[in-house]
Structure 1
Amino acid sequence: MAVTLDEQLLEILACPSPDHAPLTRGTPDDPDADALTCTECGRQYPVKDGIPVLLLDEATEPTGDSATATNGV
């Protein structure tokens, strides 16, 4: 199920990491996922019962080549 947030709310929401980048609906793998993805760091934040959970502890770290590059491995 796709995230249904008011456009004005989505415009003011930002990633709670230090870069405070805008968020987009869904994930790169699933645009209909109940999540918001940071446009800068790639963290994915769950949306539970229509409420975005913008806590770094609840975020899913990005996977793939970009995650390996940021970890220096």
Structure 2
Amino acid sequence: MDDKVSRVDPKLLELLVCPLSKGRLTYDRERNELISRTAKLAYPIRDGVPIMLISEARSIEE
């Protein structure tokens, strides 16, 4: 499969929250991550599955 970009079900995105801040997440299609602006963390999506572990999240500065 050449297309490595996974799609996130919009219904799933509505249900998921940041495990640290409990805030909303936004989907970054370019990086294939879920972004918590409140916690300044980006959670990776691997094989279509959001990895919602703080230890796996990437710190972001905006």
Q: Under a length normalisation based on structure 2, what TM-score does the superposition of the two structures give?
A: 0.80
Pick from 19, 34, 45: which aligns with 1:47?
Answer: 45
- Percent identity of equivalent pairs: 31
Amino acid at match of 1:49: D
- 1:48 partner amino acid: R
Deviation at 1:20, TM superposition (A): 0.3
Q: TM-score, normalised by structure 1?
A: 0.70
- The answer as to whether partners of 1:3 and 1:33 remain within 8 angstroms in 2 is no
Correspondence for 1:25: 27
Aligned-pair RMSD on alpha carbons?
Answer: 1.6
Task: Please say which structure displays the higher CA radius of gyration.
Answer: 1
| Unmatched segments (≥5 aa) in structure 2 | none
Report how many aligned residue pairs link the two structures.
59
More helix by share: 1
Task: Point out where structure 1 has 5 or more consecutive residues left out of the alignment.
Answer: 67-73
Question: Which portions of structure 1, spanning 4 or more consecutive aligned residues, are displaced by more than 3 angstroms?
Answer: none
Aligned to 1:47, the other structure's residue is in SS state strand
